[in-house]
Amino acid sequence: MSQKTTLLGAAQLLAVLIFLPSSSTAQALPVCSWPLETTGSGISNVAYPDTNATYWTMPFDSARWQSIVITGVYPQARFFSFVSYDAKGSVVEDHSALNDVDINPDAGSTNPFRESAVAGEPQHYTVTISRTASMENEPNSLQFANTRLGWIIYRIYVANQGLQRNAGVPLPTVSVVSLDGRSHLVPPCPSRHRSAAVAELVTALARQGFDANAAFRQLINSAAPSPGAETSCQPTPLVSWIPKNTGGYFPNPANKYIAIPGLCFQPGRILIVRGKGPVFPDTYNGGPIWKPDGIQTRYWSMCNNDQRSPYPVVACQADHSTNLDQSGYYTYVISKPERGEAPSWVPPEATWLELGSQTDTKILLVRNMLPDPNFQNSVQAAISAGCVVDNQPGVPPSRDEVVQQGQCAHDVMKDYYPKAVYCDKQVFISQGWQGCFAATESGVQE
């Protein structure tokens, strides 16, 4: 998806918002189940999504319902979850997220995300969202937001090979229970082009008296992680660091990030990122989440993004699509394509990421999802050690703090810390990543 197309999509959405009807009588939210699908492309490519994940979003009116009941089949994927949000897209604090392994199966069914799963049994589950949800009394439960408008997001990461984004199962069925105890089935949303689906969702919000303009303008204009000023180039040597304030709209609680922001590219130079890849379950090829032995994180990825509104993703590589050398290290090459594809000079042991627009500042995000408690070199471990930059939205942190906290993250993450350098393309071709880092350390490239 080109930058021009992404901007056009955002402009179309804003145009829809401007001409919304202010109010009318209509069915209470949710009008239909899972109206908005986000995949990292088109009109919904905002707020740095991961292209290896799919997000289905549904608004609801918490004042109209006693509870919402979701029934489904466990997807064939690396990860899935349900998360409850308030009107502003913030995670509900007390009881907000249910991850796959924590969702108990229905009677007579089994949870394939648990090592105790029984082969051949059905794989059905039921999840309830209500204002009085209690983990102790209702393990498969989430809380309503403390705002009248609430949101539920159903996420799937890395569907198994050969499956579509819904990972081999239908979207979950949704029922609402009214205040008098009666249950009502919410019909599935009709298949729509994404821009039409967004327009219909915004209209439905407006008809119920919700400030859809504010909600979706926030999504487009301020939804992204904001580790520093968008227009400034990070000085060299480049530092990877963890922002305390990611400013995210609809954040995924299972993920944490280390960022390399402020990347401004120059003619004849490429970007090289080097680090060790955590051990992950090879679910893409049919393995369970508990194999192989020594798993360190459920999922990790590297994404290249434009660091300006609406914060679209350019390209991502998931763990299973990242090439590792014999020692388990990745080498990412970020550059322009040649004849529309990966350059022929990128060696097979490296992994290519498209640069995208040559004029926009870039930010690389490395995701770590659900690290094993025994894995002490994750982004989460660095956060626990206090290795975060206390940034503020739109205010660049001091270089001294970035360097200090980047070193702190490096000390915790060790070989898993992503190191980045600009490199002359010919140096990389003739000397590999070793030549790029050697040139930087000697000061030749700086």
- pLDDT tens for each residue of 241-279: 999 877 667 889 999 999 999 999 888 899 999 999 999
Closest CA to 114 of 126, 128, 99, 127: 99
Residue 12 pLDDT: 43
Domain closes at, from 206, 221, 236: 221
Instruction: Check whether 80 has a pLDDT greater than 70.
Output: yes
In this structure, the dihedral spanned by the alpha carbons of residues 258, 303, 99 and 125, taken in order and rounded to 10 degrees, is: 180
393 within domain boundaries: yes
Domain limits for position 175: 3-221
Question: Is there a single domain that holds both residue 275 and residue 214?
Answer: no
Spatial contact of 296 and 279, defined as CB atoms under 8 Å apart: yes
Mean pLDDT over 75-82 rounds to 98
177-218 pLDDT tens trace: 999 999 999 999 887 776 677 777 777 787 777 766 555 555
β-sheet with 297-306: strand ranges across: 255-263, 362-371, 297-306, 313-318
Residue 135 pLDDT: 52
Question: Is there a single domain that holds both residue 320 and residue 274?
Answer: yes
347 within domain boundaries: yes
79 within domain boundaries: yes
Question: Is there a single domain that holds both residue 190 and residue 135?
Answer: yes
Question: Is there a single domain that holds both residue 52 and residue 10?
Answer: yes
246 within domain boundaries: no
CATH of the domain at 147: 2.60.120.1600
Spatial contact of 198 and 189, defined as CB atoms under 8 Å apart: no
112 within domain boundaries: yes
Instruction: Check whether 14 has a pLDDT greater than 80.
Output: no
Within 10 angstroms of residue 265's Cβ, the number of other Cβ atoms is 21
The residue ranking higher by pLDDT, 425 or 221, is 425
325-378 pLDDT tens trace: 999 999 999 999 998 889 999 999 999 999 998 889 999 999 999 999 999 999
Question: Is there a single domain that holds both residue 279 and residue 165?
Answer: no
* Total domains, the chain: 2
Cα-based angle 381, 384, 386 (whole degrees, multiple of 5):
115
Q: Which helix (H) or strand (E) covers residue 435, if one does?
A: helix 425-442
- What is the 3-state secondary structure of 170-227? CCCEEEEEECCCCEEEECECCCCCHHHHHHHHHHHHHHCCCCHHHHHHHHHHCCCCCC
Question: Is there a single domain that holds both residue 191 and residue 321?
Answer: no
The mean predicted confidence, pLDDT, of the chain is 86
Question: Is there a single domain that holds both residue 217 and residue 259?
Answer: no
Amino acid letter, 249: Y
Domain closes at, from 221, 241, 266: 221
Question: Is there a single domain that holds both residue 263 and residue 352?
Answer: yes
239 within domain boundaries: no
201 within domain boundaries: yes
pTM for this model (two decimals) = 0.89
Question: Is there a single domain that holds both residue 151 and residue 270?
Answer: no
244 within domain boundaries: no
Question: Is there a single domain that holds both residue 65 and residue 172?
Answer: yes
Instruction: Check whether 289 has a pLDDT greater than 90.
Output: yes
Question: Is there a single domain that holds both residue 180 and residue 301?
Answer: no
